[in-house]
Amino acid sequence: MNKAFFKIALFLILFVGFVSCDKDNDNEENLLPAEVLKENYTIDRFKVLNIATDLPSTAKLTWSIKDSIISENADLDFISPFQKSYPLTLKVEVNGETKIYNASINVIKETGTYSKYISNVFDFRPAVGQFTNEIPLYTSGNTEASIISAAKKAIVGSNTTMISLGGFGGYVVFGFDHTIPNMNGRDFKVLGNAFWGNEANEARAGSCEPGIIMVAYDKNKNGKPDEDEWYEIAGSEYFKNTTTKNYSITYFKPDPNKLPAAGNEFWQVNTEYIKWQDNAGNSAYKSQNVFHDQSYYPLWIVDTSYTLKGTRIADNFYDQSGEGSYWVGKSFEFGYADNAPNNDEASNIDISWAVDKNGKYVKLPGIDFVKIYTAINQEAGWLGEVSTEVSGAYDLHLN
Ligand SMILES: [Ca+2]
Ligand SMILES: [Ca+2]
Ligand SMILES: [Ca+2]
């Protein structure tokens, strides 16, 4: 062994180390390309810009506008209500290596004019109810399509009237002419006819008939809500054990010739009017009151029964008078339709409350469609069934 040997050995170790180190660098150069983003993106206000990347699955992505992280997904869904230019930064980390990419997103004014209100009604199927066939009005020969178009006349635009969804499960599906962006805080308002009762007796109670709100983002851009695009807004009752998920109820068409007569006094309800049955093994009758003598079963539905389903929340009405004369419905804290007066913050909804079927929060860039259905299966004495009313909705970000 001599000095020369050691020198060669040392040289070899250093050389091999250098080569392997250089090889690592080469690999990482291959993992992270020089270009990932375009220099500029252009998108209309209230439209979602999708920027897809094709990076190794082990890469950690951080999308930012200035100092705010806006996403950590592989793809970015960007939307803004403002006509503005945004400096976009994408940080990519993989195998301890970090690379920064920059781009600019130009949000431009759309051509044409958006409406902040509902622009279309896709579906309407009320449950059995005292306003069914009245709001909107059924006339002889009407089909499901004509009733949906009557519902559309009622709640599209700013000049709206009301539709009633009847008892549990009755629903309406509507949409907007743009995507309502999911910004910080609440994003849209649902209009109903809730009002407070005597606040000296009880605050935040009165005529509150909560409806579940579902939202959909038109991810596949086909202009309609698809089954896999729906998410439920998890209102204040969603995670409570008094709430029943996947509840379903079947209503049976009554034989008009075999009905007991209703009374003449306002509290005399016909308690054996329309039979219903739920998926928990309960069965009973919906009652008919003296104020409404039209059929409570939707007359355009030819089937002798129909089933409605969804999340059911606990009964919220009780008889405050103790003698059946004054029924009051308590308002829930947040996240429901027709649950608080239209000027109350509780009628405003945050898209960030949306959850998937397993109750896991989802991050939607915005929403294009809303479905509302009655969340309660309760008869409130002479007031009749608890039924959600909808008289419109609007985007809180569009002025
Ligand atoms: Ca929001
Ligand atoms: Ca769709
Ligand atoms: Ca109502």
Instruction: Give the integer Cα–Cα distance in Å for 340 and 347.
Output: 6
Query: Using the 8-state DSSP alphabet, how is residue 254 labeled?
Result: -
Residue 26 has pLDDT above 60, yes or no: no
Cα(365) to ligand 3 centroid in Å equals 30
How remote is the CA of residue 239 from the centroid of ligand 2, in Å? 28
* Cα 219 to ligand 3 centre (Å): 32
Separation of CA 305 and ligand 1 centre (Å): 39
Token look-up 């020198």 returns 7
pLDDT band, very low/low/confident/very high, at 20 (cuts 50, 70, 90): very low
- 40-108 folds as Immunoglobulin-like (2.60.40)
Whether 242 has a pLDDT exceeding 80, the answer reads yes
Neighbours of 253 (CB within 10 A): 18
φ and ψ of 22, to 5 deg: -60, -40
Task: Tell me the ligand closest to 224's alpha carbon.
Answer: 2
Ligand nearest to the CA of 195: 3
Residue 105's pLDDT band (boundaries 50, 70, 90)? very high
Q: What is the mean pLDDT of residues 47-66?
A: 96
Instruction: Over range 8-18, report the average pLDDT.
Output: 48
Taking only the tens place, the pLDDT of each residue in 254-290 is 887 766 666 666 666 777 889 999 999 999 998 888 7
- Ligand closest to 175 (CA) is 2
Measured between alpha carbons, how far is 303 from 274 in angstroms, rounded to an integer?
14
> How many Å apart are CA 127 and CA 157, to the nearest integer?
24
Q: Reply yes or no: is the peptide bond before residue 136 cis, omega within 30 of 0.
A: yes
Of 351, 397, 393, 369, which is closest to residue 117 (Cα–Cα)? Answer: 393
- Tell me, in angstroms, the distance from the centre of ligand 2 to residue 108's CA: 24
User: Which ligand has the nearest atom to the CA of 233?
Assistant: 1
Note the ligand closest to the C-alpha atom of 193. Answer: 3
CA distances from 226 to 2, 121, 222, 386 (A): 79, 15, 9, 29
Q: Where in the chain is the domain with CATH 2.60.40.10?
A: 40-108
Q: What is the pLDDT of residues 182-223, one digit of tens each?
A: 999 999 999 999 999 988 889 999 999 999 999 999 999 999
